[in-house]
Amino acid sequence: MSVKIFYTYAIKDHDPRSVLHDKIIEFLKSGGNVVDVYKFVFSETVEPGSEDADPTGTIKRIKNSDLFIGEMSRASQTLGFLMAFAVQSGKPSLYLYPVGSLGRPGKFITENPSRLITVEKYSDSGYEAKIREFLDRAKRKLASSRTTFVSTREIDDFISSKIKELGLSKGEVIRKIIEESSA
Residues 90 and 18 in one domain: yes
Phi/psi at 64 (nearest 5 deg)?
A: -85, -5
pLDDT by residue (tens digit) across 124-175? 778 999 999 999 989 988 887 777 788 899 999 999 998 888 888 888 888 8
Q: Which residue has the higher pLDDT, 49 or 72?
A: 72
Binning pLDDT at 50, 70 and 90, where does residue 179 land? confident
Pair 55, 86 in one domain:
yes
**Is 94 inside a domain boundary?**
yes
Give the mean pLDDT of 21-38. 93
| 106 and 173 in a common domain | no
**Residue 47 pLDDT greater than 70, yes or no:** no
Same domain for 157 and 138, yes or no, is no
Among residues 84, 130, 105, 98, the alpha carbon closest in space to that of 11 is found at 98
What is the pLDDT, as a whole number, of residue 53?
Answer: 58
Looking at the structure, tell me whether residues 162 and 77 fall in a common domain: no
For residue 17, is it within any domain?
A: yes
Whether 19 has a pLDDT exceeding 80, the answer reads yes
Give the CATH number for residue 16.
3.40.50.450
What are residue 79's phi and psi, to 5 degrees? -65, -40
Q: What is the pLDDT of residue 124?
A: 75
pLDDT for 40: 83
Does any domain span residue 147? no
User: Total domain count for the chain?
Assistant: 2
Answer whether residue 148 is part of any domain: no
Tell me: do 161 and 103 sit in the same domain.
no
Distance CA 25, CA 11 (A): 15
pTM comes to 0.76
Helices of type H across 1-152 = 18-30, 55-63, 77-88, 107-110, 127-142
51: confidence class by pLDDT, cuts 50, 70, 90: low
What domain range includes position 166? 153-182
Q: Are 89 and 127 in a shared domain?
A: yes
130 lies in a domain? Answer: yes
Alpha-carbon radius of gyration of the chain: 18
| Same-domain pairing of 120 and 94 | yes
**85 vs 170 pLDDT, higher one:** 85
Considering the domain boundaries, does residue 79 fall inside one? yes
Same domain membership, residue 94 and residue 73: yes
Judgement on whether residues 90 and 64 belong to the same structural domain of the protein: yes
Residue 103: the pLDDT is 73
Is 114 within the bounds of a domain? yes
Q: Are residues 85 and 173 in the same domain?
A: no
Asked if the model's pLDDT at residue 55 lies above 80, the reply is: no
Determine the pLDDT at residue 49: 54
One domain for residues 167 and 120: no
- pLDDT above 90: percentage of residues in the chain: 40
